[in-house]
Each structure stands twice: as C-alpha cells, then as structure tokens.
Amino acid sequence: MNIDLTHEEVAFRDEVRQFLDTEYPEDIRRKRDESVPLTRDDMIRWQKALNSRGWFAVNWPVEYGGTGWTPVQKYLFANELANANAPHVVPFGVKMVAPIIYTFGNEAQKKRFLPDILSSDVWWCQGYSEPGSGSDLASLSTRAIRDGSHYVVNGTKTWTTLGQHADWIFCLVRTSSDVARKQEGISFILIDMKTPGVSVKPIITIEGDHEVNEIHFENVRVPVENLVGEEGKGWTYGKVLLQHERTNIAGVANSQYRLNKLRDRAGQSLHGGEPLVNDTNFVRKIAMLDIELKALEFTELRTLASVAVGNAPGPESSFLKIRGTEVQQALDALLVEAAGYYALPYVPQQYVLEYPAADRIGEGSETSTSLHYFNNRKASIYGGSNEIQKNIIAKHVLGL
C-alpha cells in the first residue's frame, strides 16, 4: 500500500495540466465559469481538442484509439479536467455505443462507426426508455419487423438527452414477441436520424431547458446491416453497456471541484452580516459531505484497481452510481443554501456571455444553483433509478 504518486504519475499529471493551459478553449472556459450553457459546436470543439491529443476515447482498447492508461492515470486525468472546470464529454457515442460496437459489432460496423465517433463528426443519442418502459426497461414495445433487407421500426423512445443534436441513435427494439422471458427478443440496432419517419419532439425539463426529447419512429426502414451482434441478444449487450463505463461514473472529481467552490462561497456569502463559514451548522454539513466524498474517491480507486488486475467488472458501478448521485444532490442543495436569496431569480436570458453586466441579477454562479438543483434531481432517476441499482446489488452482490 502506498498513497504517493510515482514520478511517472506526477509527470503525467503535469502533462495534463499543461494541455489544459494551452488547449482548453478560452471562450468555453468563460462560459463554464459563468454558468452559460454550451452549444453543440462548443462541445464538439472541446472533444476534438481532446482527440487531437489522443485523450478523447480514454477507455477504448488501444487498437481502436484508446489510451491504455492505468487506473491512476484515468483518475488523475479526471481530476485535472474537473479542477479546470472543463466540460464532460457527451457520453452517448464515445462511452456508450462505441464499446458495444467494438465488443459485439462486426468489422464493417467498426470501420464505419468508430472513426466518426473518435473525431466527433457524428453525434449519437440513446434510445432505451419508452413512455411505458422506465425502470422496467425490458417491457419495451418499440417494434422492428423484418421486411426483406430492412427492419421496419415503429414506436416511441423518450428522455433522449441532446437528441435534438444527434445524427444517429442506438436503440433497443423488440424483434420478437414470441419469447419465454421479456428480456429475450430484444435487439440492438443503429438508426440514422435522417431516415424518413423519425421525428424529434422536445421535452422541457423542470428548470426550463430543452435537454431531453421524445423520438417517434413511424415505419422507419433500417437496413439489417445496422443490427449489432445477434438478433434477440440486445438485452445482454445493453447490460454490458451499463457496466462498461466505470471511470468517473460517480462524478467524484467534479463533486470535489464543486465542494471546493462551496467552501469558497461559504467564505464570501453573508449570513446575518457574517460569513457563512462562521455558521457551525453549515460547516458541519460541508464536512460530512467532504468525508463521504473522500470515501467515494477511494472506493472508486479500489474498484478500478481491482478491475485492472483482472477481476471481472461487476455491479460495483451500481454502488458508485448510488453514492455518487447522492453526493451530487447533497452538494446541489448546499450550493442553493449558500446562495441564499440569490438562488431565487429566474432570468434565463441572462445566461449568455454578451449579457450586459449592469443588467445582470446576481452572479450567474449563484442564480444558476437552483436551476442546477432542480435539473439534477434526474441523477438519482436516470441510468436505472437508485432503487433499481439497489435491486441489482441485492441480487448480484448479496445473492438475495
């Protein structure tokens, strides 16, 4: 056991810092710091910057363009990006569909799809949930019926994050209903969003933004070569996907960054004329979160270390998801608390860089706390609600 970084690890960390100093676009940095939402172009520019250094597809196998980093390198990389308040990469292509393609896809699919994901030239979105299938995902009813060299897809997918920007969607669809278990007869297919019959309808979420969508499929003809792996095995692939993305699933580095912000803010915000840090009750809440987060940081490191020495990836990701989102949401609430009255103004038009400073109500970093708080209640719901994650742990870890 040794907590110190090796010389090589320190050198690597410095290299990442150097990269962020020079390659992290200044306008994106300003938007992040002032809570201005990023555009599609901003996100793509950032991903292309990462890719130009070979640091975009962190977890891919080296042969497809991955990094081959050790768990500690991945940890350091995530920390440095979080400390710079750099944006998350959009996960649907690089972290979600790509591992399915390089694990279960054929050579033609790998050749066709992976390079465009790596270069961020194609934007992917996810088609899992349906209006009638949330936590009970396997009850999904979007149908793909074989018709010659095509599947004909009919149905509705929902909660499709950033689907309004997407070029392609990966979907779980039902190819057979003549099955013993509902998990059977589900297939994993890739659909070009420009295909006739695909339509995108915005869903406005609690904080007033357009982040998610409903996607309708009406007699959409999808070539059979867009089926990944075997017909009817989609559920198995989908489960692998859920366990695949292990790095940073708990969002530890980002929460650490926000905890430091919270400390700073508590030093500045006034409470009865005194800095909030003089409020013992508030300081205790910060300390309790700090301890929980430190534990989570090391739980994630232990998990990564264990996977790196060849232990099978398992349901630990459920654990990291639960505790990670609990910490995030506790931080959301404390940031609102620290903002005090300035968490109340709802002036969405002021979250642009050009907004005149004199007209601004409060600081963006304060007034946006409540918007983020409301929006991020999704964290314990998406990706399999935290209760579903507990069911998974009870079954697969505790054997209940």
Partner 1 sequence: MDFSFSEEQTMLADSVARFIDTDYDFESRQKTAASESGYSEKMWRTFAELGWTAVPFAEEDGGLGGGTIEQMLVMEQIGRGLVVEPYLATVIMAGGILRRLASNEQKLKWLAPIIGGELIATLAFAEPQSRFNVANIATTAKRDGQGFVLNGQKTIVLNGNSADLIVVPARTSGNQSDRSGITLFAVPGDVSGLNRRGYATVDGLRAADIHLDNVRLDAADVLGEEHNGFMALDRVIGEATLAISAEAMGIMQKMHDKTVEYSKSRVQFGVPIGSFQALQHRMVDSLMSCEQSRSLLYWCVMLNAKGHADAIKAISALKYQVGTAGVRVAQEAVQIHGGMGVTWELDIAHYFKRITAIDLMFGNADHHLDRFISFSQ
* Cβ at position 13, least distance to partner 1 in Å: 11
Q: At what angle do helices 364-375 and 316-339 cross, to 10 degrees?
A: 140
273 vs 283: CA distance, rounded Å: 17
For partner 1, the closer of residues 143 and 285 by Cβ is 285
For partner 1, the closer of residues 88 and 390 by Cβ is 390
For partner 1, the closer of residues 33 and 387 by Cβ is 387
| Cβ-Cβ contacts under 8 Å for 11 (sequence gap 6 or more) | none
* Cβ at position 76, least distance to partner 1 in Å: 9
16 vs 79: CA distance, rounded Å: 10
| Cβ-Cβ contacts under 8 Å for 31 (sequence gap 6 or more) | 37, 38, 42, 353
The dihedral built from the CA positions of residue 309, 311, 312 and 313, taken in this order, carries a sign that is negative
* Cβ at position 91, least distance to partner 1 in Å: 24
Which tokens in the block code for residue 217? 């499929």
For partner 1, the closer of residues 76 and 173 by Cβ is 76
* Cβ at position 282, least distance to partner 1 in Å: 11
Strand bridging mode 274-275 / 150-157: unpaired
For partner 1, the closer of residues 4 and 359 by Cβ is 4
Binding footprint of partner 1 on the chain (CB under 8 A): 1-6, 9, 72, 277, 283-284, 287-288, 290-292, 294-299, 301-302, 305, 309, 319, 322-323, 387, 390-391, 393-394, 397-400
Closest CA to 56 of 79, 89, 100: 89
* Cβ at position 55, least distance to partner 1 in Å: 20
For partner 1, the closer of residues 10 and 353 by Cβ is 10
362 vs 352: CA distance, rounded Å: 14
* Cβ at position 380, least distance to partner 1 in Å: 13
Closest CA to 43 of 66, 22, 58, 27: 27
